Amino acid sequence: MYGFSRFYKYPLPLLLLSLWLIVVFLLSDQPAHSQHAAISNKEKYQSTLLAKTIMPSTLTENVRKTVLENGLTVLTKEVHTAPVVTVQAWYKVGSRNEEPGVNGIAHQLEHMMFKGTKNRPIQFGRLFSALGSDSNAFTSYDQTAYYGTVERNKLKALLVLEADRMQNSQIEPEQLASEKRVVISELQGYENSPEYRLNRAVMQAVFPNHAYGLPVGGTKADVEKFEVEQVQKYYRNFYSPDNAVLVIVGDFQTANTLETIKEVFGKLPKKVRSEKLGVRSKNTFTSSPSLSTPIVLREPGVGRLLQVVYPLPDANQPDVPALDVMDYILTEGRNSRLYQVLVESGLASEVTASVTSLRESGWYEVLVTAGSKQDLKKIDLVLSRAIANVAEKGVTSEEVERAKTQLTADVILSNRDITSQAMRLGNDETTAGDYRYTDRYLAAVRLVKPTDVVAVINKYLTKEARIAGFFEPTQKRITGVGDKPDSAQTTENFSPGVPVIPSEVAKYLPPVDLVTDAISRVLPQEFKFTNGLRILLLPDNSTPTVTLSGHIQAGTEFDPENKAGLAAFVADNLLNGTKSKDVLTIAKVLAERGVSLNFQTYREGVHIEGDSLALDLPIILEILADVVKNSTFPVQELELHRQQTLTDLQLELDEPSEVARRIFVQSIYPKKHPLHTFPTEESLQQIQRRDVIDFKAKHYRPDTTVLALVGDFDLNIVRSLIKNEFGDWEVSGQAPTLEYPAVSMPEKIVSVNSVLSGKTQAVTYMGYTGINRYDPRFHAALVLNQILGGDTLSSRLGAEVRDRQGLSYGIYSSFQAGKNAGTFVIEMQTSPEDSTKAIASTRQILQQIHQQGVTALEVETAKRTLISNYNVSLANPEELTDRILMNEVYGLDKGELHSFTDKIQKVTLTQVNQAARELLHPDKIVVVTAGPSVLTEKSIR
C-alpha cells in the first residue's frame, strides 16, 4: 500500500540492467570431474568473465532526457530484456516542504491521488489492478513518487492515468475524511515501534529549524486538522508538469514513446503557484545545537535502544562517497568495527547504520539494540570510543577496498529490475538535480582512500555534533489471550455497500491492447546427482550477476516440542564456522567480493538466498557447500546467538503483528501439531550444542536439497563446479518424514484478544485451515482471493473496509498453500476503536461472497490481473529464481513456470463460486486482535 521512505540504506545506489530469460544451453548429464579439473573450470569461469565488461563506462549512457515546453522533465531508458515497462511520476515535493501545523500534508495528498479524478471518479487502485500493474506510491523528504510496472502493451494506458491525476485529481470532503482515518491508522502502526518514536525525538533535536526534523508521514494532531482547501491548495501548488519528472524504463521505442508523452502530457499547463500556502517550499538549514546529555524516552515497551545521529552535508557535497565507505567499515558485516566491539562482546544484539544524503542536508544514523540487561550508557561510551579509535589510528587499505567492493556489489545486486532502475533515475534527478549523479558517485567511490575515511570521521563524527537518544522501557510488557463470546463482532450490522462493479472499472480504463505479449518459453535445465541433490540452471547474460535460491527440508515443522526454535538455531549458525574456516574468515571471504548468502527458516524448509556478481559465483558455491557439509557450531558463537535470539524474541513479542500471528496459528492448530509450537525463552534455553549437531546431521541432506541458479554463467562449467563442491556430500538412510494430523474447522466464531502496553494500533488476523498446493481448487482459489482481498484497493475487502469506510490502512487475504495444508488468513491494521466495525464488515463481505458468489466480469478482471502480475514478476531475478525453485520443491512439472498463466486463464466462474462456497466460512472463523485496550486472561502459550 501507500507508504513513505525514511532513508535509503544505500543513499544513491547504482542501478543496472533488468533480468529476463533470453538464452538456455542444452547438454546431457555428465560424470563428475576430478578436483584438478574443477579447479581448472573455476579458473576458466573467472577468466571468461574477467574478459567481459562488468559495468559500462557510464551507467546512464542509454538514458535520454527530454524537457517538454510545459517544463515536464522526461527520462527514458530502453531495456529490452523483458516485455515489461515501468512508468513513474516523481514530484519535487515532500515533507521538506512542510512545517509544524501542516506536517504530513504531502503524505496525505499522496493518498488522495488514488481517490479519482474529474474524468475518472473511481479509485485508481482498481484501474491499476485491472491493467495488471504492480503500482504503488511513497512520500519521502524531497519527493513524492507514483510508480507502476506493466506488460509493455499497457504503457500508454499508464501514461494516460498519470497525466489525468497530475491535473484533475478530485479532493472531496467525504473522501478526505475517510482517507484521514486511513493515514492516522498508518501513523498508529509506526507509533507502535519504539524505534520510530525514538528516531522522531532525536531527529527533532538534530533539525530543530528544518523540516527534515519532522516525521515524513506527519502527526495525528496535524492530520486530524487538515481541511479540503488546504490539501487542494497544496495539490495546485506542487502538482504540475514543471515540478515533475516522468521516468520510463523498459521495453519500448524511445521515439514513438516520446511522441505519445507529448500527446498525453504536453497539453497540461504549468500552474500558477500560490504564495500563501502556509507551507514552506524551502527551508534554511542550520546546525543543531549540541546536547551534552542524551534524549531519554521512558515509555512502555521491550528492549533498550541507542540511537546516535550526526548531521552531514547534502547529496552533492564531495564527502558523501567517503562517508558511505566509512559506514561500511564501521557497521557492515561481522568484521566491521562496531559489530566487533558491540555485538561480538555481547553488549548489543544488533547494530545498524545508514548515511542519508538529501537535497539540503543529510545525516549519519547509528542504531544499537542493547543486549539483555546491558546498560545504554556503557554501550554509548564504547561506541564513542570505537569511533574515536578509528579516527586516531586510521583504517587499513584492505578495509577500504573491501568496503568499496561491498558497496558497489550491493547497489548492483539490489537494483537489477527495471522498476529499481527507474527509481534510481527519479531519485537522482529530484534529490541531486542530475539523473547522472550515480555515475559521478560511483566514480568517486572508487577513488576513496584510507585518509579520506579518517578525514570525514574527524570532520563530521565529532562529540560536539552528535545527538544521542536512549529508549528505556518503563515496564515489561504483559501479554495475554482470552477466549470469550463474539458478541460485538456478530451483533453489529455494518452494511458492506454495493460490491465493486467491474463494468465501472472498464468504463474508465484507458484504451489498451488486451492481447498479451508472447513470453519466451525458456525453461531451466535440471540435473540430479547420485547423492540426490537436484539443481536447476538457467543461463542469462543480460546482467553480469547470478541469483541463487535453495531449499533444504529442515524447517520448523521438525522442532521438538520442548526445544522450539531448534531448526532456526541450526540455520542461523551455519555461517559461524566450519572445519577449515572460522566465522570471521567466512565473513571476510564473502565481504571481500560483496557476496550475499543467507539462510531463512520457515515451516516447511530452510530457504537459501544468495547473490553475487557473475565473477564471484565460485565463491558463493564454495562457501555454501562448506557450511552445509562442515559447520562445526562453536560453543562461543552458539551462546552469542542464543542471547541475540532471546533479545529478538522479546522485541517480537512487543509487536502486535507477531503476537496476533502467533496466537492465530496456535488457535487453529492444537497442541502436538507441528505448527502449534513457537520458540519461547524456555525452549531456547533448552537447546544444547549436541541438539544442533544432531539436527543438522539428521535433516541437512543432499536428497532433500534443491538449488536453483539464474544468471550470467556457462551451464557446463557451473554444473561441474556444483558437482565438485557438493558431489561428496554423503547421504545415509531415509530422509525424515512428517505427517500433519487433520485439523477440523472451528465449530463457531472464536474470538481471541491480546493486550500490549503502549501501542496505538491494533492488528487483526482472521481465518482457519486452508488448502495445500496440490488441491484441485488451487487456481480457482487464487482468482477468488484476488477478488476478495488480493489487493488492498481493488478487492472487495479493500474497496469497502479500507477505501469507503477508511477503517484500515491495509487489509489483505491469502491462501497460504504449501506441501501441506496451510491457512486462509485475512490480515488488517486498524485504530483500536475501529477494530470491531472492521471485523464485522469483513465477515459480512465473506458471507456475501459465500452465499451469492462473484460475477463473471470480476473473474475475468482478476484473471487478467493475476496473469499480468505473474508475467511482470518474472522480470525480477529473485522472484524468477524462487518460482523455479519452489516448482521443483512442490514436485510440479518444470513447464509450470509458463503453464501457470494458462491454468489461471482456464478458471471458470463456476469454479470460483464453488470455491467460495467450499472455502469461505464466515461463521466458523478464528479472529485474533492484538493491540491496546483489549481485555485478556491467559498468557501466550
- CB–CB of 11/73 below 8 Å? no
User: In this structure, which amino acid lies at residue 544?
Assistant: P
Cα distance between residue 650 and residue 477, in whole Å: 9
Q: Which of 356-360, 738-742, 757-761 has the highest mean pLDDT?
A: 356-360
Q: Looking at residue 512, what is its pLDDT?
A: 80
Q: Looking at residue 252, what is its pLDDT?
A: 94
Q: What is the band of 281 on the pLDDT scale with cuts at 50, 70, 90? A: very low
pLDDT(286) > 60: no
DSSP-assigned states of every residue in 596-637 = EEEEEEETTEEEEEEEEEGGGHHHHHHHHHHHHHHB---HHH
For the ranges 444-448, 494-498, 776-780, the lowest mean pLDDT is seen at 494-498
Q: What is the band of 909 on the pLDDT scale with cuts at 50, 70, 90? A: very high
* Residues 560, 565, 569, 570, Cα dihedral to 10°: 40
- CB–CB of 836/807 below 8 Å? no
What is the pTM assigned to this prediction?
Answer: 0.88
Q: What is the band of 311 on the pLDDT scale with cuts at 50, 70, 90? A: very high
Tell me which residue of 350, 250, 244 sits closest to 305, measured CA to CA: 350
User: In this structure, which amino acid lies at residue 205?
Assistant: A
Neighbour-count burial of 255, counting CB atoms closer than 10 A to its CB (0-12 exposed, 13-18 middle, 19+ buried): exposed
pLDDT(275) > 90: no
Handedness of CA 23, 27, 29, 35 (dihedral sign): negative
DSSP-assigned states of every residue in 704-771 = GEEEEEEES--HHHHHHHHHHHHTT----SPPP---PPP-PPPSS-EEEEEE-TT---EEEEEEEE--
- CB–CB of 811/802 below 8 Å? yes
Cα 929 versus chain centre, distance = 24
Q: Looking at residue 470, what is its pLDDT?
A: 97
User: Which helix (H) or strand (E) covers residue 325, if one does?
Assistant: helix 320-331
DSSP-assigned states of every residue in 180-217 = HHHHHHHHHHHHT-HHHHHHHHHHHHH-TTSGGGS-TT
Cα distance between residue 841 and residue 496, in whole Å: 6
For the segment 692-748, what is each residue's pLDDT rounded down to a tens digit?
999 999 999 999 999 999 999 999 999 999 999 999 999 889 999 998 998 988 889
pLDDT mean over 310-323: 96
Q: Looking at residue 541, what is its pLDDT?
A: 83
Longest dimension (CA), the chain: 79
Cα distance between residue 39 and residue 42, in whole Å: 5
Helix (H, G, I), strand (E, B) or coil at 235: helix
Helix (H, G, I), strand (E, B) or coil at 564: coil
The grid coordinates listed for 183 are: 493515514
* Average per-residue pLDDT for the chain: 87
pLDDT(8) > 50: no
For the segment 218-239, what is each residue's pLDDT rounded down to a tens digit?
999 999 999 999 999 999 999 9
pLDDT(940) > 70: no
Q: Looking at residue 21, what is its pLDDT?
A: 23
User: In this structure, which amino acid lies at residue 349?
Assistant: S
pLDDT mean over 37-57: 43
pLDDT mean over 135-142: 96
For the ranges 94-103, 124-133, 170-179, 276-285, the lowest mean pLDDT is seen at 276-285
pLDDT mean over 192-208: 95
Cα distance between residue 41 and residue 52, in whole Å: 17
Helix (H, G, I), strand (E, B) or coil at 312: strand
- CB–CB of 305/328 below 8 Å? no
Neighbouring CB atoms inside 10 A of 459's CB total 15
Q: Looking at residue 38, what is its pLDDT?
A: 37
Q: What is the band of 6 on the pLDDT scale with cuts at 50, 70, 90? A: very low
* Residues 634, 640, 642, 645, Cα dihedral to 10°: -130
Beta bridge partners of 353: 366
Whole-number percent of the chain with pLDDT over 90: 76
Q: What angle do CA 763, 769, 770 make, to 5 degrees?
A: 105
For the segment 606-648, what is each residue's pLDDT rounded down to a tens digit?
999 999 999 999 999 999 999 999 999 999 999 999 999 999 9
Whole-number percent of the chain with pLDDT over 70: 87
* Residues 671, 677, 680, 686, Cα dihedral to 10°: 90
Sheet-wide strand order for 534-539: 525-528, 534-539, 705-711, 545-552, 605-613, 596-602
Cα distance between residue 895 and residue 884, in whole Å: 10
Residue, of 504 and 350, whose pLDDT is higher = 350
Q: Looking at residue 347, what is its pLDDT?
A: 96
pLDDT(19) > 60: no
Q: First CA to last CA across the chain, in angstroms?
A: 32
For the segment 814-838, what is each residue's pLDDT rounded down to a tens digit?
999 999 999 999 999 999 989 999 9
Cα distance between residue 448 and residue 450, in whole Å: 7
Cα distance between residue 824 and residue 79, in whole Å: 39
pLDDT(481) > 70: no
Q: Looking at residue 51, what is its pLDDT?
A: 37
- CB–CB of 784/907 below 8 Å? no
For the segment 250-271, what is each residue's pLDDT rounded down to a tens digit?
999 999 999 999 999 999 998 7
DSSP-assigned states of every residue in 253-300 = -HHHHHHHHHHHHTTPPP-PPPS--SS-S-----PPPP-SS-EEEEES
